[in-house]
Chains A and B, each alone.
Chain A
Amino acid sequence: MADDDRPEDPGVGRRGLVSWLACGGAAALGVALGAPAVVFVTSPLRDAKTGGARWIKTIPESALAANAARKVTIVGEERDAWTVRKDVELGSVWLVRRQGAVVAFSAVCPHLGCAVAHEAGPSPGSLDGARFACPCHTSAFDMDGKRREGPAPRGLDELATKIEGGFVWVDFRRFRIGVTEKAELG
């Protein structure tokens, strides 16, 4: 406190230096607080992708008629922020059986995320004329998931399937909405 006892007579240089130090110090403090704040707020941008296969058991293979589509619910473990719930309905997928093979499509319309519906064709037991249609913005897809009409930027997202123990298993994933490429969400 020695300098407090002297009357102040700072030269222009000293006053300038002290001004710079005061402003610089205050700015440094702002950055020191701002940096962790920015890291904290933007942490969702750096969340680790879940990645890896996520096989979920659905219906018995025998419950799926030939040349037909069926919507099945995906039940699994959900991580909601800090909570982990078991046996929660995570979403649904369309299963299509064609010539013996089972194909799965995400029921989420790649346009803006509405749930797509199935419209059967004129003749029962045949996929001819059948299609998937979005109830929101008139996007429609054929039974291979290819886009037929409407504003959707890509076809329906196909999911991997396998048959094990007589049941259909689906590798359930979510994808970015509204873009041309099929990009998985974390």
Chain B
Amino acid sequence: MSLRARIDALADFVETRTGAKRLLSHALDEPIAGGARWAYVFGSMLTAVFGLQAVTGLLLMSAYSPSTQTAWASVHHVTYVTQGGWLVRGLHHFGAQAMIVLLGMHLFQVALFGAYKRPREVNWWFGLLLLGATLAFSLTGYLLPWDQKGYWATRVATNIAGTIPVVGASQQALIQGGSDYSSLTLTRFYALHVGVLPAALIGALVAHIALFRKHGVTPPHGADLTRKDLFFPRQLWKDVQAAIVVFGVIVYFAFRHHGAPLDAPADPASDYPARPEWYFLSLFELLKYFHGPLELLGTVVLPGLAGAYLFLLPLLDRKESLRARDRVLPLLPLFGLGVAVVVLTVMALRHDARDEKFQAARRRADLSAAKALALAAKGIPPEGPLAMMKADPEVLGEALFTKHCQGCHVLGDLGSREEASAPVLDGWGSEAWVLSMLDDPDHDARFGRTPYKGMMPSMTRCKPDDASCKPMKPEDARSVAAFLAAGADDGAPPPTDAVRRDAARVRSGEAIVKTRCTTCHLYKGEGDDGGEGTAPELSGWGSRAWIRAQVMNPASKATYREKALAPGMKKYMPAFEGELKPAEADVLAAWVHQRARR
């Protein structure tokens, strides 16, 4: 028997027992009235991208762990540790977005060609069901990495579900698995995302394709119906070319983002500039225009009306004609809807681009994300990525400063210069800071907004009526600054242009401090001949130990003295001994020390 004959015999064996060949012929030899068309590729594209989502989704399932402690960590592991993981996640992430775009195109093509008309109404409704399922996929999938972006965006969505009258609270609790977000929210979303929705979508898709095969394509008005193609090969070749383009676009984005973005771990206590994914931005923008009791209009009524219109479209447009010109009225809302989505999306993007506060918050969020990735590379503790972040001295230091200090002080972009009632700490401990203090201690950025205003005179300038005043020479002021800044270095190497690199200048600064400054200040516990009790200790000034002592108790004499907490010193700096744990005080002091000299 020749090879060819053997193959044929094998094919016959399989065919008589399974009917596979007939099935394949049935799939491929679908007649296409009016011939193959580019306009028909969208449905096939959607099926193909859904296949991509199913394959990459199964792979991700094998590496994902849905709990608040492990979700972010496992997604980080997939993206940055597992070989090929970044690409698999990237394909899934951007594949989901491709589905949204293709759904829009498919919907418009079908509407434009009038393919929803009798007898295809039911198939149009199955299509809408698929649209809903896809949006539900997007919403549930967005939360799963449990990063800031997904967490906050999804919270807004579930809170909207909670505002619906009567059923709102129970509906939200059912979705979330409780009254608030927890690991149960993740397991529920996960079950929806990998179990319920795939089953629903596949079921609806089978019905959609079966009904499509039953009724066939809807060629556009004026098409040459004498022409007939089979699906294979001409339509399939068009579909394959389109699929290659779509796949190329998805791969391009996946490479550009090293897979897909991963924001910092979800932190319910943070202030995050929450935004939904771009395809929901129009709904997000809409919410800005409906206030108070009208809110439901933006969240439920208008989107609901849009959905109702799409559902009713086949019943509204019952004329036989497929010509778009004859169907302007029923199609008008669809195009209105399309324009509204585009306009609102552009508006949302423009508002954010011009909103400096949003941009600053976004930059902080990006820094936090970069920090999380750097920390996670060293391994994540069993308590989870959020605990890992909170324990990091830099993150914890900033959090403590934000909580306890920025109400009065300013440091970097923390605190408000307009409302500050304590010195601006940028550059605190540096020579420049000391020099500005010697020159104008009552400047708004120094002690001008504190109870100490007017207590320290300028050392470099004299009041016109003060005959006994001898201004400090600029050289001496620089020496004092060099000496004090050297103490504040706390072992850190001084900048290359610092005067304190010259040991002789530091020594001469010390001599001046010991003689001239101790008329009011303390130096190693000695000084203050006037007995005022207000000027602080200068030894170790600006060091971590000095900061820590000042934070815990500003009246301990290690920094300021008893007067620091006197009732007459309105808005004085309080002692934080009771509020801060000793370890927290260490972290805060180190953070302020390092941040002030950044």
Complex: how many Å from CA A91 to CA B183?
31
| 17 A-B interface contacts by CB (under 8 A) | A4-B38, A8-B227, A18-B233, A21-B233, A22-B232, A22-B237, A25-B237, A25-B244, A33-B56, A37-B88, A40-B87, A43-B82, A82-B77, A83-B70, A83-B380, A83-B381, A84-B380
**Closest residue to B376 on the A side, CB-wise?**
A82
Chain B CB within 8 A of A53 CB? no
Complex: how many Å from CA A184 to CA B55?
34
Chain B CB within 8 A of A41 CB? yes
User: Smallest CB–CB gap between B182 and chain A, Å?
Assistant: 20
**DSSP majority for the A interface?**
helix
User: Smallest CB–CB gap between B27 and chain A, Å?
Assistant: 13
Contact size range, A: 20 to 34
Residues of B within 8 A of A41 (CB): 59, 62
Within the complex, which residue of B48, B74, B87, B244 is in contact with A82, where a contact is CB–CB below 8 Å?
Answer: B74
A4 and B77 in contact, given A22-B233, A25-B237, A32-B247 (Cβ under 8 angstroms): no
A36 and B237 in contact, given A8-B227, A82-B74 (Cβ under 8 angstroms): no
Task: Find residues 1-31 in chain A having any chain B CB closer than 8 Å to their own CB.
Answer: 1, 4-8, 10, 15, 18-19, 21-23, 25-26, 28-29
- Contacting pair A79 B59 (CB below 8 A): no
Complex: how many Å from CA A36 to CA B86?
10
Complex: how many Å from CA A1 to CA B397?
63
Residues of A within 8 A of B85 (CB): 40, 43
Residues of A within 8 A of B241 (CB): 25
Chain B CB within 8 A of A49 CB? no
Complex: how many Å from CA A16 to CA B376?
54
Interface string of A59-99 (1 = CB under 8 A from B): 00000000000000000000101111110000000000000
Complex: how many Å from CA A23 to CA B237?
8
- Contacting pair A25 B240 (CB below 8 A): yes
Chain A CB within 8 A of B37 CB? yes
- Contacting pair B38 A39 (CB below 8 A): no
Complex: how many Å from CA A29 to CA B224?
33
Interface string of A80-124 (1 = CB under 8 A from B): 011111100000000000000000000000000000000000000
User: Smallest CB–CB gap between A48 and chain B, Å?
Assistant: 11
Complex: how many Å from CA A7 to CA B35?
8
Our count of residue pairs bridging A and B at CB distance below 8 angstroms stands at 104
Task: Find residues 53-89 in chain B having any chain A CB closer than 8 Å to their own CB.
Answer: 55-56, 59, 62, 70, 73-74, 76-77, 81-85, 87-88
**Closest residue to A47 on the B side, CB-wise?**
B83
**Closest residue to B87 on the A side, CB-wise?**
A36
- Contacting pair A5 B237 (CB below 8 A): no
Complex: how many Å from CA A5 to CA B234?
14
- Contacting pair B236 A22 (CB below 8 A): yes
**Closest residue to B88 on the A side, CB-wise?**
A40
- Contacting pair B229 A8 (CB below 8 A): yes
- Contacting pair B73 A83 (CB below 8 A): yes
**Closest residue to A45 on the B side, CB-wise?**
B83
- Contacting pair B83 A46 (CB below 8 A): yes
Task: Find residues 16-35 in chain B having any chain A CB closer than 8 Å to their own CB.
Answer: 35
- Contacting pair B232 A36 (CB below 8 A): no
Complex: how many Å from CA A7 to CA B229?
9
**DSSP majority for the B interface?**
helix
Complex: how many Å from CA A36 to CA B251?
11
Complex: how many Å from CA A86 to CA B251?
39
Chain A CB within 8 A of B495 CB? no
Chain A CB within 8 A of B304 CB? no
Chain A CB within 8 A of B386 CB? no
User: Smallest CB–CB gap between A37 and chain B, Å?
Assistant: 6
Residues of A within 8 A of B91 (CB): 33, 36
Top 6 closest A-B pairs, CB basis?
A84-B379, A39-B84, A25-B240, A43-B83, A82-B77, A22-B237
- Contacting pair B381 A4 (CB below 8 A): no
**Most chain A C-beta atoms within 10 Å of own C-beta, residue among B38, B76, B382:** B382
- Contacting pair A40 B82 (CB below 8 A): yes
- Contacting pair B76 A82 (CB below 8 A): yes
A81 and B37 in contact, given A25-B237, A25-B240, A33-B52 (Cβ under 8 angstroms): no
User: Smallest CB–CB gap between B226 and chain A, Å?
Assistant: 6
- Contacting pair A84 B233 (CB below 8 A): no
